[in-house]
Homo-oligomer: A and B are copies of this chain.
């Protein structure tokens, strides 16, 4: 069977004041009435049903995760006692899934991205799963770049085709010049963080490339899910991503499929302008806004009326206890802002 492993342990400040330390982006209803995490679960159906859906989250977000019991079986929500990057997260899911389904194909997905339309997405996932099963290769979904984004990692493949293409290299976030040169080749894709492989294969990779991880995972597999010994074992994991720890080393067995759908990591308030309904002046609005001589703003206010007069290219966000006003171009500074806030508001 195909199992989805949704990595929901992320924390972040980029959607402050809507997101908070206890309620990060994946738990927000930013685009639809569902949270991004719920959308991630639901867009896989009917290809992957509840019984094959797994979430690896952070124990600090337990109350938000427990609200998903209607979508995911209780014992398939794994609460990491602490964050140890994607290798540990994926490894833990793999050993749990193997106990239930030794022939499982794993579809590893971030929990907070935008994907549309969903039919071609599911079709591509199904195709990758079939290939993973058949070839025992490691598959990743690449996004064909639309502009030289410097905030994404890039995956280099052999040809411009949609694949499956043999992966030549993983590249870290580039400079603008480098990103531009990447794009010109047509052989560089954005790394979406979506991976497809069999559970058996990824465990073999752990044993080969991250043997310390494999050893800890064997011990964890022998514990009940909620064992008090989990934390002590988890702390021993090296903090390393699956990209560095396995994919780059197993590059000879790694293949890319080009996305056949629109994708975004919705990385900032400014990015939301592509996803929220716009008025005639190009204001992207969620909630209640009246805009006088105001253009190209992003306004998020679900409770109060926001009135803009002569405001251009700004972000205005209203929440019950905090308001953010900034130019769209400044959204990289939110981190600095949040660090200066009283803990209660972070």
Contacts and interface: CB of A to CB of B under 8 A. Distances in A.
B308 A340 contact: no
A252 to B, nearest CB: 46
A327 B311 contact: yes
A71 interface: no
A324 B307 contact: yes
Contacts of A26: none
A233 interface: no
A292 interface: yes
B325 A325 contact: yes
B290 A305 contact: no
Contacts of A290: 337, 340-341
Given A290-B341, A323-B316, A323-B318, A333 B309 contact: yes
Contacts of A311: 314, 325-327
Contact of A309 (B293, B304, B321, B330): B330
Q: What copy number does this chain have within its complex?
A: 2
Nearest to A319: B304
Contacts of A336: 292
A323 B314 CA distance: 14
A301 interface: yes
Given A292-B337, A333-B293, A324 B309 contact: yes
A13 B309 CA distance: 14
A345 B306 contact: no
A292 B340 contact: yes
Contacts of A267: none
Contact of A323 (B304, B326, B330, B337): B304
Nearest to A297: B325
Contacts of A326: 307-311
A221 interface: no
A299 to B, nearest CB: 9
Contacts of A321: 304-305
The 5 closest A-B pairs by CB, nearest first: A309-B326, A310-B330, A305-B322, A306-B323, A307-B324
